[in-house]
Amino acid sequence: MRTGLVLARHELRLLVSLALWVTRRRHGTRDGGTAFGYARGQGPVMFGFAFVCVVESITMAVLLRDYPAVHRVVFMLDVYTIVLVVGMHAASVVRPHVLDAGSLRIRRAAHVDLRIPLEKVESVRRELRTTHERAEGELDVAIGAQTSMTLQLTEPVAHFTFLGRRRDVRLVRFHADDADSLVKAITLARSGPSALPSPLPDQPG
């Protein structure tokens, strides 16, 4: 029952993200935070996947043409799958990382949303990694199997997995399209609110 509710909320967030994407708006950036995207280059892969789903839907329509009841059900499921695939890309675009005067919000589509107080940041560095091994106290928020930044914390912060299980993490690896700028911005933000860059317009790139 709980898993069903989690999945339903996740699908709702994807649909909301799709609506935000269509209207060229971002989620969680209206309170003065600066947005840093991470979805650059992901679009062709996601739309390629959506195209495969369309081809599969057409194939099934031909195979099931003599079974109209089954065809209708399968067609509706195929269309919904395509919507969710596009919604996942939309969520990556409209839910960027957000840096404000007090925290860094690390996100990955509608799957990961982790707030890290800046006072708990011990160090931040640009580090490109394409392989990740699961380790206690570490969180890898990879995009396209890569991370470009590493954040070391002074003490653990709570991260909740997709199904709600708590993990305490002291090191976070994640990806940003402009990792150098985000490293610089985090370093400046730790020096004081006045050092923060001006917020970007509330429009997805």
* Domain 97-195, CATH among 2.60.120, 2.60.460, 2.30.29, 3.30.70: 2.30.29
The three-state (H, E, C) secondary structure of 31-74, written as one string: CCCEEECCCCCCHHHHHHHHHHHHHHHHHHHHHCCCCHHHHHHH
Query: Given this model, what pLDDT does residue 38 score?
Result: 95
Average pLDDT on 126-142 reads 92
Average pLDDT on 95-120 reads 95
pTM: 0.84
As a dihedral over the C-alpha atoms of residue 105, residue 145, residue 91, residue 151, rounded to 10 degrees, the angle is 0
Q: Where are the beta strands (DSSP E) in 89-146?
A: 97-99, 103-108, 112-117, 121-129, 138-141
What would the pLDDT profile of 154-175 be if each residue is shown by its tens digit?
999 999 998 889 999 999 999 9
Instruction: Give Cα 133 to chain centroid, integer Å.
Output: 20
As a dihedral over the C-alpha atoms of residue 191, residue 193, residue 196, residue 198, rounded to 10 degrees, the angle is -170
Question: Phi and psi dihedrals of 202, rounded to 5?
Answer: -80, 55
Would the pLDDT of 96 be above 60? yes
Would the pLDDT of 200 be above 50? no
According to DSSP, residue 23 is labeled T
